[in-house]
Amino acid sequence: MSRREAYRSAGRAAQRKRWFRLGFAAVAIVGTCVGVRYAWPPYTASAEDEEFAQAAQAPVAPSRDPNVVAVVNGEKIMRSELAAECLRHYGHEVLESLVNKELIAAHCEAQGVAVEEAEIDADVARLAARFQVPVDQWLLMLQKERDINPEQYRRDIIWPTIALRKLASEQLQVTEQELREAYETEFGPQVKVRMIGMRGKLADAQAVREQAAANPKEFGRLAREHSQDAESASANGWIQPIRLHAGDQKIEDVAFALKDGEVSEVIIVNKVQFVILLCEGRIPARQVKMEEVADRLEESIRDSKLRDEAAKLFAQLQKDAKVVNILNDEAKKQQMPGVAATINGRPVSIKALSEECLVRHGKDTLNGLVNRRIIEQTLRKNNVKVAGQDIDDEIDEAAARMVGLDKNGKPDREKWLKQVTSEPGVTVELYVRDAVWPSVAMKALCKAQVKITEADLQKAFESNYGERVSCRAILVDDLRKAQKVWQAAREKPTEENFAQLSAEHSTDASVRALNGEIPPIRKHGGRPVLEEEAFKLKKPGELSGIIQTDGKYVILYYLGRTKPDTVTLEDVRSDLYDHVYRIKLNDSMGKLFDQMQQTASVTNYLDPSRSRQPAKARAAAETATRSGTTTRK
């Protein structure tokens, strides 16, 4: 995360750490478990994990007042304030979570289904065993990687999964055919293919197919030029090998019928989507005995069925239940103050919802509140205020930059706010509070420090309108490998050979896929070492030395120079000034925010690892400690 993103997110917990973006829906519950079970690589405990475990188990420093969750430069943040902030950010999704969990519990009670603690223990142990780690290490990994503590894991993931499994047990039986197909998907033969995916008219797809069939060696170029699947197009049409029973049956049938080097007919996926394949060979089936993997495959199939059945069950439960969402209805809030929702007549209080939001998201939300408090204190210290007009101007500037102007020639604020709030749970209030206000505040603190010189404008002019170096590149991670590749390029200094070497050896996927083609290199583009070496090259076909930059080793093959734009500095002075000002202002804002954080004194009672002292205070404390030690001696 960049520094600017850090302070722009002040007051808002990290979106990436939301457990269930669409609430505590059945698919999300089971999906989390399946993801935990299969998505991570084999786990080995490290020294870092031991430190994390000690920190997680360390007692939280007691606050003199249990209602205080943090102290920032002597100023308290109260638990009630944090709960309100958590409710503001996560109330809607956590309420949905509570509602859905209540629906499961009620249905279990009606069906006579109970989930015992022993069953939860057994499920946790089973999942840990799948990763071949002890239970305590498994729980530690969850807390470290997913920020899910053991109690939340048992209560909000394992319990609902077991409950749904019991409720849908009759539908989770696995047939012999399903087991065989799962085995063939994972261990059966595969077809290596390139693909061109197109939308639109069938005639256009057929025309591209005719070119590919006439010259299959050009399939990669045709994919780059015509495929509308960006990921495979950038890789010259390559996609993951096609397996049995793993996708569109029509595409699988065509792929497995192709001979090596053969181009398929146009596969009509639907009225406007078409696929063309080139067979590049086959991967034989793996020699694995069914009995060795049957249990795991059966469990995987059952998990997949559980997702489907849980979704159906939830749809029926939600249809049958009478849920009144009061949190989202201002009129109902007035009628039932302090109530967030009712479930079949039973109320869910705002207080209970706020506390649940705090339990799930309090640590991250508190970190945002601390950052916001630091900014507020700095504003007061410098007697700087943020006015409503400043907020409006910032929104208009963002709207003009991101979505353009409306029919009246003004920033299209309505379109921009609609786009910003399209993400679930994001309101205009949150956008202003979490993104606009911090940005405006930091700009107000920094704008007087930003100075634009003539040299700055000249560099910007050269960067945006000056000549650039056209070349191909090879990027590798290892110096020894770079030396071998460089020698191979020098022995045969042709563009074709260099392109082939880049396709074979570049570790950057996009550079490798495009045979070393890169955008022309400009001056003052933020890569000074690379730029200096590129602009030293003069003769077409000239090879650079090995350039070390950003932890990579780069070799350039010089093709020529682009022509500078036919404009003068005076023609674009105003635009360049605005451009340079924004860059310098953003840099100044980032540096100031770093400084504000480094000099702040923070005591965090929810997460002591995030407590910090200013460098001077820390040094004084260390000096005092050393002095005290000497005295005792």
Flag whether pLDDT at 13 surpasses 80.
no
Distance in angstroms (rounded) separating the CA atoms of residues 354 and 377: 26
Distance CA 401, CA 92 (A): 30
**Nearest 10 degrees: CA dihedral of 219, 221, 225, 228?**
50
Mean pLDDT of the chain: 84
- What was the pLDDT predicted at 319? 85
Query: Quick one: tokens of 62?
Result: 């007691």
Mean pLDDT of all residues in 333-358: 90
Check residue 510 and give its pLDDT.
86
Q: Evaluate whether residue 456 is within a structural domain.
A: no
- Do 270 and 306 belong together in one domain? no
- Report for 95-99, 194-198, 227-231, 347-351: range of highest mean pLDDT: 194-198
- Which pair of structure tokens corresponds to residue 544? 């650079």
Q: What is the pLDDT of residue 15?
A: 34
Higher pLDDT, 13 or 96: 96
* Band of pLDDT at residue 353, cut at 50, 70 and 90: very high
**Does the predicted TM-score (pTM) go above 0.85?**
no
Which of helix, strand or coil describes residue 323? strand
Same domain, 217 and 261: yes
In this prediction, residue 623 has a pLDDT band, given cuts at 50, 70 and 90, of: low
Return the pLDDT at 231: 87
pLDDT of residue 29: 31
Q: Are residues 479 and 556 in the same domain?
A: yes
Q: What is the pLDDT of residue 6?
A: 34
Q: What is the pLDDT of residues 523-543, one digit of tens each?
A: 998 899 999 999 999 999 999
Residues 6+ away with beta carbon under 8 Å from 115: 108, 159, 162, 163, 166
Alpha carbons 34 and 178: distance in angstroms, whole number: 18
Query: Average pLDDT, stretch 112-122?
Result: 92
Question: Of 447, 528, 515, whose CA–CA distance to 475 is shortest?
Answer: 515
pLDDT of amino acid 619 = 55
Residue 163: domain span: 20-66+79-171+302-352
DSSP assignments along 235-290, one per residue = TTTB-PPB-TTSS-HHHHHHHHHPPTTPBPPPEESSSSEEEEEEEEEEEPPP---H
Residues 276 and 199 in one domain: yes
Which amino acid is present at 226? H
> How far is CA 37 from each of CA 21, 34, 125, 137, 148, rounded to the nearest angstrom?
19, 5, 12, 14, 15
Does 101 share its domain with 229?
Answer: no
Q: What span, in angstroms and rounded, lies between the C-alpha atoms of 391 and 421?
A: 17
Under the banding of pLDDT at 50, 70 and 90, the label for residue 103 is confident
Sign of the four-CA dihedral 506, 509, 513, 514 = negative
Mark which of 509, 527, 561 sits at the end of a domain.
561
Asked, for residue 242, whether it belongs to a domain, the answer is: yes
Are 389 and 252 part of one and the same domain? no
124-181 pLDDT, tens digit each: 998 888 888 899 998 988 888 887 888 888 988 899 888 888 888 777 788 899 899 9
Helix ranges (H only) for 382-436 are 388-402, 413-420, 428-431
- Angle at the Cα of 53 (from 52 to 57), degrees rounded to 5? 120
The 10s digit of each residue's pLDDT in 227-284 is 998 888 888 999 999 999 988 999 999 999 999 999 999 999 998 999 999 999 999 9
Q: Are 490 and 553 in the same domain?
A: yes
SS (H, E, C) 461-521: HHHHHCCCEEEEEEEECCHHHHHHHHHHHHHCCCHHHHHHHHHHHCCCHHHHHCCCECCCE
Assigned domain for 529 exists: yes
Q: Are residues 424 and 535 in the same domain?
A: no
181-215 confidence digits (pLDDT tens): 999 999 999 999 999 999 999 999 999 999 999 99
From CA 243, how far away is CA 187, in angstroms rounded?
9
Task: Please write down the long-range contacts of 216-223, taking CB distance under 8 Å and 24 or more positions apart.
Answer: 216/261, 216/262, 216/263, 216/278, 219/194, 219/263, 219/278, 220/194, 222/196, 223/194, 223/195, 223/196
482 and 517 share one domain: yes
Same domain, 38 and 141: yes
Check whether 626 has a pLDDT greater than 80.
no
Q: Give the Å distances, CA to CA, from 531 to 404, 498, 549.
A: 33, 20, 10
Q: How confident is the model at residue 498 (pLDDT cuts 50, 70, 90)?
A: very high
Report d(CA 416, CA 347) in Å as an integer. 37
CATH of the domain at 272: 3.10.50.40
Which residues does 520 contact at the CB level (< 8 Å), separation at least 6?
A: 468, 469, 470, 471, 562
Please give the Cα distance from 360 to 353 (Å, whole number): 11
Residue 597 has pLDDT above 80, yes or no: yes
Is residue 218 assigned to a domain? yes
Rounded CA gap, 369 and 390, in Å?
22
Render 52-80 in DSSP notation, one character per residue.
Answer: HHHHHHSPPPPPSSTTEEEEETTEEEEHH
Domain assignment present for residue 618? The answer is: no
pLDDT of residue 30: 33
Residue 369 lies in a domain: no
Q: 61-75, 380-394, 502-516 — which is least confidently predicted? A: 61-75
User: Which of 496, 529, 561 is the last residue before a domain boundary?
Assistant: 561
Question: Is 326 a domain residue?
Answer: yes
Tell whether the torsion through CA atoms of 183, 189, 191 and 192 is positive or negative: positive
Indicate if the pLDDT at residue 456 is higher than 70.
yes
Q: What are phi and psi of 158, to 5 degrees?
A: -70, -50
Mean pLDDT, rounded, for 388-417: 92
Query: What's the CA gap between 196 and 224, in Å, rounded?
Result: 9
pLDDT digits (tens, 9 = 90+) for 287-305: 999 999 998 898 888 888 8
Spatial CA neighbour of 347 closest among 322, 318, 314? 322
Quote the DSSP letter at residue 563: P
pLDDT-derived band of residue 499, with 50, 70 and 90 as boundaries? very high
Q: Is 516 buried (19+), middle (13-18) or exposed (0-12) by CB count in 10 A?
A: buried
Question: Residue 556: helix, strand or coil by DSSP?
Answer: strand
Among 48-57, 287-296, 566-575, 590-599, name the one with the lowest average pLDDT.
Answer: 48-57
pLDDT(410) > 60 = yes
The sheet carrying 346-349 orders its strands as 323-325, 339-343, 346-349
Which pLDDT score, from 0 to 100, does residue 43 have?
42
Please give the distance of CA 619 from its chain centroid, rounded to a whole number: 38
pLDDT of residue 434 exceeding 70: yes
According to the model, what pLDDT value does residue 93 have?
A: 86
Cα(590)–Cα(3) distance, integer angstroms: 5
Q: In which band, very low, low, confident or very high, does the pLDDT at 618 lie, cut at 50, 70 and 90?
A: low
Give, as one character, the DSSP assignment of residue 435. Answer: I
Residue 622 pLDDT: 53
Say yes or no to pLDDT of 57 above 70. Answer: no
Count of domains for the chain: 4
Selection from 258, 282, 203, 196 nearest residue 233 by Cα: 196
**Predicted confidence (pLDDT) at residue 586 exceeds the cutoff of 50:** yes
Whether 297 maps to a domain, the answer reads no
Whether residue 25 sits in one domain with residue 160: yes
Q: Is the pLDDT of residue 558 over 90?
A: yes
Cβ atoms of residues 95 and 354 within 8 Å: no
CA atoms 93, 94, 97, 102: torsion sign: negative
End position of a domain, from candidates 512, 545, 561: 561
In terms of domains, do 438 and 496 share one? no
pLDDT > 70 in the chain, percent: 87
